Structure 1
Amino acid sequence: MCGRYSLSKSKIELEERFQAEMLPEFKPRYNIAPTQLVPVITSGSSKGFSFFYWGITPEFGKNKPVAQKLINAKAETVDQKISFKSSFQKRRCIIPADGFYEWKKLGKKTKIPYRFTLREAELFSMAGIWEEYETLNGEIQHTFLILTTTPNEIVSEIHDRMPVILTKQQEKVWLDSYSKEEDLKQILSPFSSDLMISYTVSPLVNTVQNDTPAVMRKTSPMDQHGNYTLFG
């Protein structure tokens, strides 16, 4: 799964990497969580960033608060599930990021947070689908979810799923309204572990309200609560 990620780059860096226009008031994010309003690029508007809520409402599930919605979908079955099939065919998006977080379980109660990035800490995108729905007040809102796949070698040490990370060429295929379904499915695969790194971070990331650079800094597991050690 992917339940937390970061987008700590500047407006200029985002615009240069994705060749899309960002809102002037954009500020870097360090601890993005479900239900929050964050930037995406859709297949129908690839020259500008849109802001959608993270957490999707299937077409049949209207009038639900954002917190009750799904945040991820399995890439292996996204074209088969009735709740996602239409979005997969017609409403695809990419979600810009520069890292994501997962937690390694140590015993029954202890979890160590890890951050995963590309080797040069550069921007990347995650594959997503989006949906439009009507709120209880009759307002139209847009939401998205992140597609996940089986983990590569580096992520599998921590978790059994990882977000689908796309290359620049794959982004073009994913956002192209005319792409064939077989071509779309082909790119929904684990990203190369040779191009990624991971490291432990502060437990500050556990609290959504902590949206500062401190949550991304490399931290020894022993420093987190004074008595943690990693096994394997």
Structure 2
Amino acid sequence: MCGRYSLSKSKIDLEERFQAEMLADFKPRYNIAPTQLVPVITSDSPKGFSFFYWGITPDFGQNKPVSQKLINAKAETVHEKISFKSSFERRRCLVPADGFFEWKRLGKKTKIPNRFTLRDDSLFSFAGIWEEYEGLSGEVQHTFLILTTTPNELVEEVHDRMPVILSRENEKKWLDKYTSEAELLNMLKPYPVELMVSYPVSPLVNSVQNDSPGIIRKTSPMDQFGNYTLFG
């Protein structure tokens, strides 16, 4: 499962990388969590960033644990399941990111958060699908899900799934409504392990209330007392 990611680059970086216009006043995000409103690029509007809720909207997801929120879709079955099939065929999106988090279990109670990025620390995009529907108060709202696949060797050390990271050459094809189903499914593979790195980060990431640059800094290993210390 991909349950947390970062988008710590600037508005200018995003616009240049994706060749899309950001109308909103975007600020870097270090700890993006489900139900939050974040930028995506949709098949309907590929030249601009749209802001959609990840998974479900805050009002609908209030007081529900993350485990009960629908935030991901399996790449292996997204084209078959009734709940995802229409979105996969007609409403695909890019989800810009520069890293994602997973927790490595040590013992029965201890989990160490790890951040995964591209080796050059550049922006990339997850493969996503989106949906439009009427909210509880009658207004039209938009949500998206991130597609996941089997992990590469790096992510496999921590988790049994990883988000689908699209290559740059596949991003336009992912948004193109004329791309065949076979081509789309062929894109949904683990990202090459040699192009990725990972490192432990502060347990500050555990709380969705924390959203600061310190979250994505590399931390030292736990000492014998189980404490974390940020590198200078």
Q: Tell me the TM-score normalised to structure 2 length.
A: 0.92
Residue 100 (structure 1) aligns with: 100
Residue 194 (structure 2) aligns with: 194
SS in 1 for 2:133: strand
Provide, for residues 60-92 of structure 1, a one-character-per-residue CA deviation record: whole Å limited to 9, x for no partner: xxxx81456400000000001110000000000
Gaps of 5+ in 2: 63-67
1: CA distance, partners of 2:37 / 2:24 = 16
SS in 1 for 2:48: strand
Contact 2:35 2:56 in 1 (8 A): no
TM-superposed deviation, 1:108: 1.6
Between the two proteins, what is the percent identity of the paired residues? 74
2: CA distance, partners of 1:36 / 1:221 = 30
SS in 2 for 1:182: helix
Gaps of 5+ in 1: 58-63
- Number of residues of Structure 1 aligned to a counterpart in Structure 2: 222
4+ residue runs over 3 A deviation: 66-69
SS in 2 for 1:45: coil
Structure 2 residue 222 is matched with structure 1 residue 227? no
Structure 2 residue 60 is matched with structure 1 residue 65? yes
Residue 52 (structure 1) aligns with: 52
Residue 218 (structure 1) aligns with: 218
Q: Tell me the TM-score normalised to structure 1 length.
A: 0.92
2: CA distance, partners of 1:180 / 1:227 = 50
TM-superposed deviation, 1:27: 0.2
RMSD of aligned Cα (Å): 1.7
TM-superposed deviation, 1:133: 1.2
Provide, for residues 123-170 of structure 1, a one-character-per-residue CA deviation record: whole Å limited to 9, x for no partner: 000000000111121111000000000000100000000000001111
2: CA distance, partners of 1:48 / 1:144 = 16
2: CA distance, partners of 1:221 / 1:32 = 24
Contact 1:118 1:197 in 2 (8 A): yes
Residue 126 (structure 1) aligns with: 126
Contact 2:93 2:127 in 1 (8 A): yes
1: CA distance, partners of 2:101 / 2:89 = 28
